[in-house]
Each structure stands twice: as C-alpha cells, then as structure tokens.
Chains A and B, each alone.
Chain A
Amino acid sequence: MLDIKSLSASIDGKKILDGFDLKIKPGEVHAIMGPNGSGKSTLANVLTGKNGYEIEGQVLYQGKDLLNLPIEERAQKGLFMAFQYPLEIAGVNTNNFLKTSLNTIRKVRGQKEVDSLDFLKLVKTKTNNLKIDEKILNRQLNVGFSGGEKKKNEILQMTILEPKLAILDETDSGLDIDALRIVSEGVNALRSKERSFLIITHYQRLLDYIKPDFVHVLVDGKIAKTGCGDLALELEKVGYKEMGAIK
C-alpha cells in the first residue's frame, strides 16, 4: 500500500523528517506517536502533498511514485487525510461540498455520479451509523462548528469517500470521551482487508478504542522504536524521555 524510503523533509531550511522509513500493507493500522515537534504532522502533510516542503527520498503508493502527483490526484487515488484543524469555508454548504468531492472521486474511478436523492440517502445512513446530527450537513462547511463537530465531520467525509489509505492527523486531540468513541467507531467500521490507516496521535487513549497492528515512536524525524499496541501503554506510563526515545 505505502512504502516510504529514507524520506527527508525540510521547511525553511530546517530538517523535520530525517531518513524516515515505513511500510504499510493493505489492511494494516499503524499508529505514530511522538512528542511535539517530532515531525508527525509534517509526515501527513508530505504524504498528502502540501506545498512548502523540500523533500528527498521516495514514497511508493500502490507501487507507484507518490511524491510527483498533484494533491488532488493523490486524493482521487484514495489517499485521505482527516485534518488536525479542518478548514472553515464560508458560504459553502457542507452537503454540497461532500457531494462534489464524492462525485469528483467517483468520476475518476469510472463510477457513476451519485444524484442528490441517492446522496441524501447515503448521508442519512452514514450519519445515523456514526451518531452524527445530520443538521451539520446543512451548515456552511465547518463554519461555527465546535471542535468535536469538525472532527466528526472529517470522519463522516472519510466514511463517505471510502479511501484506500486514511491518515488521521491528531483527530483525537480536543475530543471528549463521547466524541472520541464516535470517531473510533467510525474508523473501526471502515477497517477492512484492503484499507489501511495511519493514525497520528499524542495519546494512548485513542488506541484503547482503535487497536493498531503497529505502534511507532517518532523522534527527531525518524522512527525510534516500533512495537505492537503495548508500546503505546508503556509510553503512556513512562513518557518519551524515560523510554530513551529522547536524548
């Protein structure tokens, strides 16, 4: 699914990722934990194609070079990122935005566009499953949404767009327990043999709900330690410093 080979990324001459390697197979859930400034969000941004980074190294996505593709082509090929800070776009109806997005992606995949009625049905089912108030769809995109609503909206979009690889960039930050559960259930419902997840988080708490296959500790732009779910527990107990992850 994803093969990252000695990836380095700098911004304004400052190296953030430094020789980062990671392989994700279809169906796997990988969690990346790390202290502030270790490069977690940079990794998500580089993979999705955000501008402003000088990049070295190679990333293969489904066996093909990823780094030369424009942002929207990566998305159309099934790469999705749930944003840490979802953007507000005034005047743009959430429902329309999501429908436009879905149909753009479907067109590229050679699938038929979904008409308004079918889309409405789809949204109704998904919001019900996720226990999200469907009223948010009639509001302007993320405008005036609470932190929890924004994150739930990201999960709703992920559920509807059915990505092949979903990156969750600190989706759990700032969520209360109920919202955290909704977000986790959304992810768990989407887990399948073909779909992979890269979950970036600060806290072990999320991993109580979403059981990852691997946990990686990111320090100074590269993976310092890899383990199974227990590693997150251990980290929570002793902290990054004690684990020798930070010098």
Chain B
Amino acid sequence: MPYIENKNSSSNIEHEATTSKISEEQLFYCNQRGLNQEEAIGLIVNGFCKEVLQQLPMEFAVEAQKLVGISLEGSVG
C-alpha cells in the first residue's frame, strides 16, 4: 500500500491511484512474439509506468524501473 509521510501540520494531502488489468489480448500478443508471461507483464507494466518514471530524476527513474521489475518477479501464475 502506498503511504505519504508529511511533516507540515497545516497541509492538505490527497492521494490518487489508478489500477488496470493487463488485457488477456495484450498478453497473447506478446506471447505470440516469443515473450513468456513474466517478460510480457514486465514490458507492459513498465510501459504503463513510463510516463511517470520519465519525469523522475535519472537516479530515481533507474531505481524505480528495477523496483517494478522486482515487485513483479514471481507474481505471475
């Protein structure tokens, strides 16, 4: 679960999240191009996050991409 730590007692904070399910069709398409389930999901999720990750400073972006990879590991099946 995401959390926000805040040290300004007068601030107002909101949090927004989007979830979506990877479509079966997209997975099938990637699989048909030789990628296994895990590679396909990694590719699609990283693509989904890319717009946000690109806005981060370089060192965070690299780390974030790896984190996405690690958190997806073994999550298939």
Residues of A within 8 A of B (CB): 48-51, 70-72, 75-76, 80-81, 83, 86-87, 89-92, 97, 100-101, 104-105, 108, 140-141, 157, 161
State the Cβ distance, B51 to closest chain A Cβ, in Å. Answer: 6
Q: Which of B31, B33, B51: most chain A Cβ within 10 A?
A: B33
Q: In the complex the two chains form, is A72's CB within 8 Å of B29's CB?
A: no
Q: Is the interface of B mostly helix, strand, loop or mixed?
A: helix
Tell me the bound Cα distance from A89 to B20 in angstroms: 13
Q: Verify A83–B29 contact, CB threshold 8 A.
A: yes
Interface size on B, residues (CB 8 A): 23
Cβ of A72 and Cβ of B31 under 8 Å apart? yes
Identify which of residues 21-47 in chain B touch chain A, using a CB-to-CB cut-off of 8 Å: 23-26, 28-37, 39, 43-44, 46-47
* 12 pairs of residues in contact across A and B, judged by CB atoms under 8 Å: A51-B28, A71-B32, A72-B36, A75-B33, A87-B25, A90-B47, A91-B50, A100-B43, A101-B34, A104-B33, A104-B39, A105-B34
Contacts of A70 in B (CB 8 A): 31, 36
Binding site for A on B (CB under 8 A): 23-26, 28-37, 39, 43-44, 46-51
With contacts A89-B47, A90-B48 taken as known, whether A101 is within 8 angstroms of B35 at the C-beta atoms is yes
Q: Which residues of A contact B44 (CB under 8 A)?
A: 89, 92
In the complex the two chains form, is A50's CB within 8 Å of B28's CB? yes
A71 cross-chain contacts in B, Cβ below 8 A: 28, 31-32
B-chain residues with CB within 8 Å of residue A140 when the two chains form the complex: 47
Do residues B24 and A92 form an inter-chain contact, with CB atoms below 8 A?
no
Of listed B24, B25, B30, B34, residue having the most chain A CB within 10 A? B34
The answer to whether B31 and A75 touch across the interface, beta carbons within 8 angstroms, is yes
> Which residues of chain A come closer than 8 Å to B34, judged between CB atoms?
72, 75-76, 101, 104-105, 108, 161
Cα distance A71–B39 when bound, in Å? 13
